[in-house]
Structure 1
Amino acid sequence: MGPTEGRGRSGSGSGSGSRSPLIRRPDGWPPTPPNVHTEAELACLITMLTEARSPDRPPIRSVAVGHGRDDASRAAARAFVEAWQPAHGAVLAVVDWPEDAASWLRQARRLTAGAPDAWVVAGAARGWGQLSRRLLHSTDWRPDRTFAFASIGDAAAVGPAVADILDGLRGASADGGGWCLAGGLITRHEPSGRPGLNRADLG
């Protein structure tokens, strides 16, 4: 996809990998791979990133992209990279992750190397659930600077085991709407931007 995978950086989180934050029995997560992303989903994601600014947050220019190794997640990541650069900014790294691994530490460090302005992710429940816990435990990654494809917004992908630690994570839905995770709830928004009534309790 163009960018090379970054190497792990040294920092306050890199030395905390000895005590595993991983979920020991992730068997409850379904093995079903994500659906293929839609054009509306991709367009919404690009818009969210380009409009994610405030007085204390500069515009997003650089991103790191992470994805599962299934075909749909690979395709989603590739489509995002092609849509994002060079028109909107740079992609510092593209990192894939497995559904099962010893620690996910190598992938977590690659995703956070280079201090990107934001992260974009696509993947299935099992791998993302474990990787997100590793990212929080061992790196400077921030959920509130992370934007995801619809697969991550599925209640199964951010279930009780991880929902309480991912406040601020947001993303696009297949219909072009959006969603945001806060307080163990996913709040979904219609494609028009009008807040919807669909709030999924993940606790």
Structure 2
Amino acid sequence: MTISSPLSPRHNPVDVGPTDAELERMTGMCGDRGALTIILGHGRTPDVILAATRFTQRWEEAGGVVLDTITWPESAASWMRQALRFTASEPDLWVMLGPVIGWARMTRRLLSSTPWQPSRTIAAAAVGTADAIGLVGAADLSGMAGATCDGGMWTISCGELVFAPVPETSTLVTPPPGPPGHPPTPQWAARE
């Protein structure tokens, strides 16, 4: 895979946030991995901010806990402050939304300066494209996975971006409230 410049004309940021099917799949993927706590990171465009709010609501309604939400700009001197905040806690998973250029720059900083692990990361469809992954390098993102716009899945395996169709398993079921002072545990069930 060829690494390309995020400044090239074909990488114009598009402010399109994730779809409902995508957010549902991302929530299910987090649950399928047994996560309770996450840290959410995303860019600062209006559609992505709205999508982050919708994801947070879904995750918390399912009994999950968002430890922190970090935003990053499309352009910055180094992204060090955001990268250190993103990895300051030890969540079960990290969740990342676009837009692509800011995501790529933040991810490069995470890889070079933090204990962040792509294999413990779920991301949106905007990130799961050959162009987006090429900005960072698939070889450095092994195990990273995410949802497609239609609710399918993608993962990076052996330096390749691999897609899977919309699965018929695992959907989030909102659990009953837990004891006072304790969040409910997320529960997942087979889709009927």
Task: Give the TM-score range, shorter chain.
Answer: 0.7 to 0.9
Per the alignment, residue 174 of structure 1 pairs with 149
The verdict on how the C-alpha distance between 1:95 and 1:161 changes in structure 2, with shifts beyond 3 A counting, is closer
Per the alignment, residue 22 of structure 2 pairs with 41
Give the counterpart of 1:118 among 79, 83, 93.
Answer: 93
Per the alignment, residue 51 of structure 2 pairs with 76
RMSD (CA atoms): 2.0
> CA offsets, 1:108-148, max 9 Å, x none?
01111121111111012211111111111111110000001
1:95 corresponds to 2:70: yes
Per the alignment, residue 26 of structure 1 pairs with 6
Alignment of 1:115-154 (within 5 A): 115-154=90-129
Q: Report the residue type matching 1:107 in the other structure.
A: Q
CA distance in 2, matches of 1:160, 1:125: 9
The verdict on how the C-alpha distance between 1:170 and 1:34 changes in structure 2, with shifts beyond 3 A counting, is farther
CA distance in 2, matches of 1:107, 1:160: 19
Per mean C-alpha deviation after superposition, the further-off stretch among 158-167 and 183-192 is 158-167
1:164 corresponds to 2:145: no
Per mean C-alpha deviation after superposition, the further-off stretch among 181-190 and 156-165 is 156-165
CA distance in 2, matches of 1:183, 1:142: 15
CA distance in 2, matches of 1:129, 1:31: 13
CA contact (8 A) 1:177 1:193 kept: no
Q: Which runs of 4+ in 1 moved over 6 A?
A: none
The verdict on how the C-alpha distance between 1:34 and 1:156 changes in structure 2, with shifts beyond 3 A counting, is farther
Aligned length: 166
Per mean C-alpha deviation after superposition, the further-off stretch among 153-162 and 40-49 is 153-162
Q: How far does residue 175 in structure 1 lie from its aligned partner after superposition?
A: 0.5
Alignment of 1:5-24 (within 5 A): none
CA contact (8 A) 1:160 1:184 kept: no
Q: Report the residue type matching 1:149 in the other structure.
A: A
TM-score, normalised on structure 1?
0.76
> CA offsets, 1:83-119, max 9 Å, x none?
1115332101111101111110000011111211111
CA contact (8 A) 2:4 2:135 kept: no
1:66 corresponds to 2:47: no
3-state SS of paired residue (2:71): strand
Unaligned runs of 5+ in 2: 170-192
Per the alignment, residue 184 of structure 2 pairs with none
CA distance in 2, matches of 1:36, 1:25: 22
